[in-house]
Amino acid sequence: MKTRRRSWSIMLIALMAGALPANAQQLQERVIRRMPVEQNEPIAITDLKVNGQSVTFNKRFCADDEWLRSLVISVKNTTDKRILFASIQLQFPRSAGSKERFSEFEMFHGNWSLRMRPPVPEETLVGIAAGETVEIRMSIQQFVDLRQFLTATNYPSSIEKVDARIDAVIFEDDSMWARGAQLLRDPNDPRRWTIAFFGRHQDDKDKDKKPKKKIFVDYQLGLLTEAELRHVALTTAMPEFPEEAATAGLQGVVHVAVLYDENGEYMRMKVLESPHPALSKAVANALKQWKIKIGYDSPYRETRLPVRDFAEVRFHFVIRDGIPSVEPATLEEQRKASLEFIKISGPAKDPENMSWP
């Protein structure tokens, strides 16, 4: 009898193990990490849920390989304006040695096309009201798209780490917050946004202080690729290859960020990459000769503000068969914004307060 009971016990345990759901045997530790909070975030992430259970940023939890399908992010509108569109960016870190640091995917609430066009009157009546909380989740199709996207980028099928941050928010007045910066839509190109940096006004407590040498009027800041800067340039000049640099065999790419004022005149330059200060100086001397077309943020004369252009430029200093020459960036380079430029022109990076050489 004891032997039979033991046999029945072993059989029961085996049956129970076989009856366990398959996904229960695939549970692994996962984590959602909160990326640094940006300046003046207009929405607050109030809750995270995976498979209906609340989880916490930066704390590990167990879930199966399909856990992102059940991810729900609750966000609250902390402003006094209605929000028409809000997005959360998910970053999937790459393993060490990969060419790319991470892959990106977006979860959002509202109509994504508002990034590319102004809202129609009816769209300004719906959205996330001031103080309201909504849930952002993936549809079945979005999850399929995510899976296909990660497969196409050779990402592992089992996702263990995800980094999350608030990416962009569009308001009922057609302004945008994006990663710490306040943006306004370009009236001449609705797909383009410009950072709104307004001039400094003296406070009453400062009225007796000696004014600075130069007082800036209100202005908008426009971020341009090199291709866009060249398009609005009235005159340009190429750098001269310094004789002493050529003799020393110095060559390479000089990559700079340059600021032109509301009159289209050169203001400042910041070196992002350069093989030698002599080549950087040659680039600065050339960019000082550029004249940029005066631009405004609106076609309406009564309310428009002038635009300062902030862009990146590259020049290739090369020596072929002993002959030095300077070449402009390739068209592909001119059309793209580099990570170095994005870092200094991103959230709350006002060029007036940047560390310039």
pLDDT at 8 > cutoff 90: no
> Can you list the domains of the chain with their CATH numbers?
8-173 (no CATH), 195-353 (3.30.2420.10)
pLDDT at 18 > cutoff 50: no
Contact of 357 with 258, CB cutoff 8 Å: no
Containing 152, the helix (H) or strand (E) segment is helix 140-152
What are 284-290's contacts with CB under 8 Å, separation 24+? 284/256, 285/239, 285/240, 286/237, 286/238, 286/239, 286/240, 286/315, 287/237, 287/256, 287/258, 287/313, 289/235, 289/236, 289/237, 290/233, 290/235, 290/236, 290/237, 290/260, 290/266
13 or 288: which leads in pLDDT? 288
pLDDT digit string (tens) for 169-220?
999 999 988 877 788 888 888 888 776 643 333 333 434 444 443 333 466 7
**pLDDT at residue 272 in the model:** 93
User: Comparing 44-48, 162-166, 228-232, 245-249, which segment has the lowest mean pLDDT?
Assistant: 228-232
**pLDDT at residue 42 in the model:** 93
Radius of gyration of the chain (CA): 27
**pLDDT at residue 339 in the model:** 79
Q: What is the mean pLDDT of the chain?
A: 80
Instruction: Give the whole-angstrom CA distance, residue 84 versus residue 111.
Output: 8
- Region of residue 234 (phi > 0: left; psi between -120 and 50: alpha; otherwise: beta): alpha
User: Comparing 35-44, 202-211, 231-240, 307-316, which segment has the lowest mean pLDDT?
Assistant: 202-211
pLDDT at 5 > cutoff 70: no
**pLDDT at residue 302 in the model:** 59
pLDDT at 244 > cutoff 70: yes
pLDDT at 312 > cutoff 60: yes
Instruction: Give the whole-angstrom CA distance, residue 175 versus residue 195.
Output: 10
Chain centre distance of CA 110? 19
User: Comparing 74-78, 126-130, 353-357, which segment has the lowest mean pLDDT?
Assistant: 353-357
**pLDDT at residue 350 in the model:** 54
Residue type for 225, please? Answer: T
pLDDT at 294 > cutoff 60: yes
pLDDT at 14 > cutoff 50: no
Q: What tokens does 121 get?
A: 């009157």
Q: 354: pLDDT confidence band, cut at 50, 70 and 90?
A: low
